[in-house]
């Protein structure tokens, strides 16, 4: 994964501030991923994010809905902790890339003036 998540020209979230939950490997005896239950989750706690100022944190908290679908991803906002969940799909690397893109997009829209 990249060193930082670029959000705007002036905001890039350090990888260490992103919380990942990846699905287990289906090769270890788990069910077929096509049956569901395999999601990639990416979370950012804006209150703890070192690159956001108080105004940016407030905009994200106020502008990102508590729950909404964004394409094939589900985005939640719990008091500024923004989580993107993406179904695993055919390859986990695609879900990871999609989660990063969706989180960056959601944050960029929230940070617009």
Q: If you ran DSSP here, which 8-state letter would residue 31 be given? A: P
Task: Give residue 23's pLDDT.
Answer: 72
Residue 32 lies in a domain: no
CA 15 to chain centre: 12
Whole-prediction pTM = 0.85
Residue 31 lies in a domain: no
Task: Give residue 45's pLDDT.
Answer: 98
pLDDT band per the 50, 70, 90 thresholds, residue 32:
low
Torsion of CA 1, 98, 40, 24, to 10 degrees: -70
Alpha-carbon span 42 to 104, nearest angstrom: 11
Segment 74-80 mean pLDDT: 95
Residue 58 lies in a domain: yes
The total of structural domains in the chain comes to 1
Task: Give residue 24's pLDDT.
Answer: 67
**CATH at 61:** 3.30.160.20
Segment 16-20 mean pLDDT: 96
Task: Give residue 12's pLDDT.
Answer: 97
Residue 15 lies in a domain: yes
């Amino acid at each position: 994964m990249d060193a930082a998540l670029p959000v705007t020209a002036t905001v890039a979230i350090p990888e260490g501030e992103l919380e990942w939950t990846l699905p287990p490997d289906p090769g270890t005896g788990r069910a077929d991923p096509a049956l569901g239950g395999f999601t990639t989750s990416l979370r950012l706690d804006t209150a703890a994010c070192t690159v956001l100022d108080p105004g940016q944190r407030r905009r994200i908290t106020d502008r990102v809905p508590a729950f909404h679908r964004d394409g094939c991803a589900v985005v939640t906002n719990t008091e500024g902790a923004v989580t993107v969940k993406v179904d695993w799909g055919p390859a986990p690397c695609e879900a990871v890339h999609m989660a990063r893109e969706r989180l960056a997009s959601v944050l960029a829209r929230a940070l617009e003036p």
